[in-house]
Structure 1
Amino acid sequence: MISWAPSLHRSTTLRRAVGVAASVCLVVGLANGPATGITGAGTASASPATDPGHPLAPPPVEEVLNPWTERAIRDGRPATIDENLRGIWGPPGQFFDEPSPLPDVPVGTLLKSEPFQVIFNGFVPAHVRAWRMMYVTEDVRGDRVVSTGIILLPEDGRDDAGRPVIALQETNDSAAPRCHPSSQWSGGAIGDASGIFAVGPLMQMLGAGAAVVISDIGNDAAPGVHGVFAGRYAGMALLNGLRAAYQVPGPQVNPRNEVGVFGVAGGGVGAAFALEYQPWYAPELTISATVLEALAVDQRNFVDFADGHLGSGFVLGLLVGLEAQYPELNLDEHLNPAGKALADVFRATCQTPTYFSTPFLPHSVLYEDGIRPADRAEFQEVYRVNSLGRNNPAHDPALRPPGRILVSSCARDDSFMVVTPAADARWLADTYRSQGADVHYQGLDCGNDVLLSDPYKWGTELFGMHTVSWLLDEIR
């Protein structure tokens, strides 16, 4: 990458070639494990249904490899051996030590922050400033807990106080410690798919001058299993992360500026829960626009649909993550010895490569009684409370999701990347619309023929990159 980076600014043709090549490489890399949570795709309409008011197209290569991105790559450098070793195997550092006892302060209170050097997959980009933060949020029982997160800003000469703000929720499905954004962007969790998925959208967002806030959904370095799949927990971590970001002194994130929310796949679930909770939980946050891309709307439907398919590993990942917040699932009580051993691996490792290691596995073989997890009576309530579109059953206008909402997903169940029914995403858009929300749906053609004929389109839509310019236009 570095060898050709200095000449990127000289040739539009070269920029386009590099963009296509990068897209192809990412697609090939993902083909071994599309279950990174790319969900929310399509049952059955005859053709991809695009809202005529929002005919979104793949971003021009120049929007991704924009002047800021070119400078960040051109003036960046490879990480040193010491930086790589510290990121991968070094201790997390005292920053991640939680205060004990936790102070009796409101959720969203910043506990501490510090600047840090961005190192991503062995590369140190230039012209980006970063802060890590620790703040107070709450778990699904309403108990105060700690989360960490990061703030990223470009060095582009703009006034920080005037930047639009984006809360980006990654496709972060890992249950183990030190797998989350704080690690990914400081030299750890190398190769994790959720960080790779975020690179393209971040290039667009930072290139447009946005301040980007990313929650770890819990303390990245805390021992034990992380409950990133729990929707209420993830949604409140996003909202409280925004509250805390306004208190970090260095980046000057401005609470008076418009806020956009961007969530893909597992991150889309947390983003959507944040959207549903904002009217009553964080009404002071001005969320003007939200992108929800390829998300699992109904958890039981996801488990039922993905079980035994290419994304089968994410079924166990989901259950392990939910159990961290809902111990009543008590997985080990139901799993057989092989299932227990596999669950222990999932609890202790990042999603890449672990979640990709069991494609097509039928999960009934992991349970003592042979009952599939989608059909287990004791799991149904946890599925229900972690499904979207059910938090405003009376359609109270005061509780409708705020701002303009774009739901984007594969329109049909015709791609190997699809691990949740397409109908679910359309149902969510219809449900929000029935509550009075300003919501639009864009169905995507994710067919395998598109992968072969137009890999740039297929890859950029996979990462939600076709929605970023719309989101930026809404909040600038």
Structure 2
Amino acid sequence: MRRVLVGVLVTTATVALTVAAPAAAAEPSVEPAAAPGDVVTARQISAPGFVYARTWVITYSSTSATGAPITVSGTVVVPLGANANTPVVGFAPGTHGLGDQCAPSRHLEAGDETEGLLIHQYATRGFAVAITDYEGLGTPGEHTYIAGRAEGNATLDVVRAALRLPGTGLSPTTEVAVVGYSQGGHAAGWAAQLAPSYAPELNIVGYAVGAPPAHLRTVAEHNDGGENVGLVMAAGFGMDVTYPELELAPYLNDAGRVAFADIRDDCTSDLSKYAGHSMSDFTTEDVLARPEWVARVDEQNLGGSTPRSPVLLYHSNGDEILPVSVSVGLREAWCDGGGNVTFRRTNTGPHAVTAALMSPSVTAWVADRLAGRATAGDC
């Protein structure tokens, strides 16, 4: 899937990624964080392809799904010449895996980030881009994969961190947009729902939410026994490490104990080894039917509250991983809540291809919001 995304993006991108950035001067770390969004450490890097920008790898303070203070890593890209009028895009990445080596910040520094061209489409328009790694991906601890509150908080806090990072020239009152696709769509959707209470000071003018796993049970049932069941296993792992009362280990058989010990450091491509399996191959009972799991899994669903800024929600009818029905239901929930939602239900093919094909129009929609242009939406 990731190879397909790279292939399509390379043929459509207008930015050459082969240009090496000039050597960057080392910067001292800033003081330890005291509040969500405070920068803990900052290191300027030479990120291949970002010759037109200054780029930092940072760690910053955030809040876990259970309300605990955590430290998250991420990347901040600031075009040369940025000033107080430069908007910021909070970029929530799609699934990268569970191991620290999978973190987007590491791949951006190495020059092989599969969503790098999506990031370039915003940065080359002159927008600063703040990219989160999420909790436990690139920092100590396990990755709380698909835990909605942790994802949303980390996405909002990386924007805060970018605005507080010394030397960027950015203003804390500048316009902000939040974008993401797949897991990133889930994170962007959660950011949209959490922002009014968690980060009310951010001047967020729009959200682009692409193919979110908005209803986890539907997604799990759709993929069980299929090519992408490894993602379901990763989500089970993420739930288990997020919530103390969830204990997966007692319900694993011998094969399950081996598999779940193995996936904890797998990247997305490694999960394909489980294609064709069912969760029942690894468990002694249906964990998702247990009351404590039902409650926590359902907490991750989007639609419980309505974003206060305009939303572009998009999803392909041909998505083989995340069925379009989850976005149909999400649109209805947000519209019923009085939201301003533009829903693009497309015929752009498979999951990864859609991310690439929709990127130019999504970027243009985001640019319009950052330029102050209004949108009526569909509801």
Deviates more, 1:269-278 or 1:342-351: 342-351
Identify which of 376, 380, 386 aligns with 2:294. 380
Judge conservation of contact 1:167–1:261 (CA < 8 Å) in 2. Answer: yes
Within a 5 Å distance, the mapping from 1:409-428 to structure 2 comes to 409-411=315-317, 415=318, 417-428=319-330
> Equivalent residue for 1:445?
347
Amino acid corresponding to residue 20 of structure 2 in structure 1: G
Distance 1:296 1:464, change over 3 A: farther
Please give the root-mean-square deviation of Cα atoms over the aligned residues, in Å. 3.2
Answer with 1 or 2: which has the greater Rg.
Answer: 1
1:460 counterpart = 2:366: no
| Counterpart amino acid of residue 369 in structure 2 | E
Give the count of matched residue pairs: 368
Cα separation, 2, equivalents of 1:306 and 1:224: 27
Aligned partner letter, 2:282: L
Distance verdict in 2 for CA 1:262–1:109, change over 3 Å: same
Q: CA shift at 1:150, angstroms?
A: 1.0
Aligned to 1:148: 73
Map 1:19-418 → 2, pairs under 5 A? 26-27=3-4, 61=12, 64-65=13-14, 69-70=15-16, 73=18, 75-76=19-20, 105-119=34-48, 125-155=50-80, 158-187=81-110, 195-196=113-114, 198-218=115-135, 220-351=137-268, 353-369=269-285, 371=286, 373-390=287-304, 392=305, 400-411=306-317, 415=318, 417-418=319-320
TM-score, normalised by the number of residues in structure 1: 0.70
Question: Paired residue for 1:43?
Answer: none
Higher RCO (CA 8 Å, separation ≥ 6 residues): 1
Map of 1:470 onto structure 2: 365
What is the rounded CA distance, in whole Å, between the counterparts of 1:30 and 1:228 in structure 2?
A: 26
Structure 2 portions without partners, runs of 5+: 372-379
Deviation, structure 1 residue 245:
1.3
Counterpart CA distance in 2 for 1:304 and 1:420 is: 10
Runs of 4+ that moved beyond 6 A: 28-31
The TM-score, its normalising length taken from structure 2, stands at 0.87
8 A contact 1:308–1:360 mirrored in 2: yes
Residue identity opposite 1:275 in structure 2: A
Distance 1:278 1:133 in 2: 22
Identity %: 23
Q: 1:152–1:441: structure 2 CA closer, same or farther, 3 Å change rule?
A: same
- What CA deviation, in whole Å up to 9, does each residue of 1:400-446 have, x standing for no partner? 412210100013xxx4x422331210111121111111111000114
For 1:469 and 1:245, locate their aligned partners in 2 and report how far apart those are by CA, in whole Å.
22
